[in-house]
Amino acid sequence: MSNIGSYEQRLKDFDWSISEKELGYKKGDNINIGWYCTDRICQMGNGDKLALIHQDHLGNVRNFTYNDIRQLSNTFAAFFVKLGLKPGERICIFMDRVPELYISFMGILKTGAIAQPLFSAFGDESLFTRLDNAKTSAILTQKKHLPKVRKILATLPELRHIIVIDAGDASLKEREISFDMEKEPRVDKFDVYPSTAETPSVLHYTSGTTGQPKGAQHVHYSLIGQYLTAKWVLDLQPDDIYWCNADPGWVTGTSYGIIGPWANGITQAVLDAGFNAEHWYAFIQKHKITVWYSAPTAIRLLMKEGIDLVRKFDLSSLRHLCSVGEPLNAEAVLWSKEAFGLMFHDTFWQTETGAIMITNFPGMPIKPGSMGKPFPGITATVVDPRNFEPVNNPGTVGLIAFRPGWPSMMRSYWNNPEVYKNKFKNGWYLSGDRASIDADGYFWFVGRDDDVINTGGHLVGPFEIESALLEHPAVAESAAIGKPDPVNMEVVKAFVALKPGYQPSDDLELEIMNFIRKKLSPLAMPQEIEFVKSLPKTRSGKIMRRLLRAQEWGEPIGDISTLEND
Ligand code: PRX
């Protein structure tokens, strides 16, 4: 039996106080995510339970119990206080996925400071933009990333402390200080900052597929949403071994790679290594992963490696699969059923929403290619872009909109109140994505508003075209954009990366064209297919259609600081 039970029943009875009660929280109480995810679990008698199974890129495994992460996060917190860091100051986490990343995140929150996680793969410019924007006071990093911090230090006067977690004998410079979590005497008792619902907690910079990165500012009350969505959507249960393969530089890696599972007292496994299908399957097999939260890009890369590889491993521990971050094409859902005997459940949300908003719930019939239905307590619709009124017509495409007021919603964009204000129209929060809702209430993703292609006045979403392309056996990845056209304003152009064993050729292009002709309306048919080795993506795995489009139109490419380049 899944945690959510009957979706229909939950919809009828729903109130966010369900989550508050389970967490023992009442309006006006203190609420500190760091305390909830560590001390509370220990107080409930689960101090000896494993909180974190950590495997590094060499295959070394380290285990941490809830009592370990409670004490070690206290140790971090006490150190921050000793350094003079105050509640509300921003402390950046700039580390690979080492245990210190997860544990210091809790330590920061326990002091009332704001955690600002960033991808350790960022170059010095991307790092600078975000530290400068947030006026960050301290940064936690590793020796290997120190040169990037040193390079920009002179222009960051507010950055008082550079905390190096593995300095060893390395000689440190001005403003740098060593802190080795394992060598410090453990702090058993720390006075957790008495944060309340609206106390800022996490500052997450958006992926930057469109425009300049913006810092979405979250609060401790977000826990109410993250806890319950992790329980009902990811279906986390006491004996689960859960794996979220997202990096905490991305919101998935914090909301559901730290807070959600730990608030639920679940054992989570972390693999600090890049994508490799064989290593991933071996990781699932070794740690007997039961619940896996992944992303379409990763799933498509696994598909590219083929099903024979899957068969070499015993993946029978898997019980529930979820996906986020990009549209999950029907083909990928059907493939996962064949490969793992389980369908991936799509989940839709954003850095700004802080938690899952629309999803295929466990037990609900999945319509492959659909994102599913709104989480109970979330009022979701699609609105007409002209008047921001709900379209109320099954199948009609509009802008995905949510009624503001859910617990984990961002409270502002850092230093950018104007852009924040612009996200709201006619009493709705606008996500910036397009979708339609069918007669059964399922949401169908069309594309990001700025990715929609306008051909002869008709709007075509890239997802429909890409999904059709991905059904062809030779196609591993695809992106559809509008290219300039004197008659139709735009026509569709598709970029395609092929699976191993296929070579680009005119014949193959023709074959793919013929293959998708039957599936797509004439308007959506690409006029051109360009074969590429791979597609430009953000570090969170999103295809940067904006970049392909700018190249096609000869326009400036804008901010590409989140571009994956290794
Ligand atoms: O365009 C949507 C896409 O990712 C955007 C949000 O990105 P980010 O802030 O990085 O957060 C992603 C996950 C927390 C959305 O506006 N997106 C996310 N999930 C889906 C999706 N597009 C289609 N289907 C999804 N399930």
For residue 540, the ligand 1 atom closest to its alpha carbon is 10
Q: State the distance from the centre of ligand 1 to the C-alpha of 297, rounded, in angstroms.
A: 12
Mean pLDDT to the nearest integer, 54-61: 97
Give CA–CA dist 453/475, Å, rounded.
Answer: 21
Mean pLDDT of 183-193: 98
Across 31-56, average pLDDT: 98
Phi-psi region of 211 (alpha: psi -120 to 50; beta: other; left: phi over 0): left
566 pLDDT band, cuts 50/70/90, is very low
Ligand 1 contact via 408 beta carbon (within 6 Å): no
- CB-ligand 1 contact for 350 (6 Å cutoff): yes
- Please give the residue that has the higher pLDDT: either 337 or 520: 337
Give the pLDDT mean for 232-241.
Answer: 98
Q: Is the CB of 451 under 6 A from ligand 1?
A: no
As beta bridge partners, residue 29 has: none
Q: What is the pLDDT of residues 483-493, one digit of tens each?
A: 988 777 889 99
Residue from 229, 252, 300, 326 to probe ligand 1 pocket by mutation (most atoms less than 8 Å from CB): 326
Closest residue to atom 24 of ligand 1, CA basis: 327
- What is the average pLDDT across 299-318? 96
Atom nearest to 447 CA in ligand 1: 1
Q: Which residue has the higher pLDDT, 554 or 180?
A: 180
* Model pLDDT for residues 316-343, shown as the tens digit of each residue: 999 999 999 988 999 999 999 999 999 9
How does residue 351 score in pLDDT terms, banded at 50, 70 and 90?
A: very high
| Cβ neighbours of residue 99 closer than 8 Å, sequence gap 6 or more | 52, 54, 62, 64, 181, 270
Exposed e or buried b for every residue in 74-97, given b needs 16+ CB within 10 A?
Answer: bbbbbbbbebebeeebbbbbbbbb
The percentage of the chain sitting over the pLDDT mark of 90, rounded to a whole number, equals 84
- The CA distance from 390 to 393, in Å, is 9
Q: Confidence class of residue 524 from pLDDT cuts 50, 70 and 90? A: confident
The identity of residue 244, as a single letter, is: C
Work out the average pLDDT over 301-327: 95
Give the residue, by CA position, lying nearest to ligand 1 atom 18.
325
120-129, 236-245, 324-333: least confident range: 120-129
Name all domains of the chain by residue range, CATH numbers in brackets. 7-434 (3.40.50.12780), 453-553 (3.30.300.30)
Among protein residues, the one whose CA lies closest to atom 14 of ligand 1: 350
Is the pLDDT at 562 greater than 90? The verdict is no
Task: Read off the tokens for 303.
Answer: 């598909």
Per-chain mean pLDDT for the chain: 94
pLDDT at 218 over 60: yes
Distance CA 78, CA 72 (A): 10
Residue 372: per-residue pLDDT: 98
| CA 431 to centroid of ligand 1, rounded, Å | 9
Among 193-202, 360-369, 532-541, where is mean pLDDT lowest?
A: 532-541
Query: For 372, which DSSP code?
Result: B
Q: Which residues contact 60 (CB under 8 A, 6 or more apart)?
A: none
Residue whose Cα lies nearest atom 26 of ligand 1: it is 348
- Model pTM? 0.91
The residue nearest atom 21 of ligand 1, judged by CA position, is 326
Amino acid at 542: K
Band (208; pLDDT cuts 50, 70, 90): low
Cα 82 to Cα 80: distance, rounded to the nearest angstrom: 5
Q: What mean pLDDT do residues 507-534 have?
A: 90
- Stretch 238-254: mean pLDDT: 96
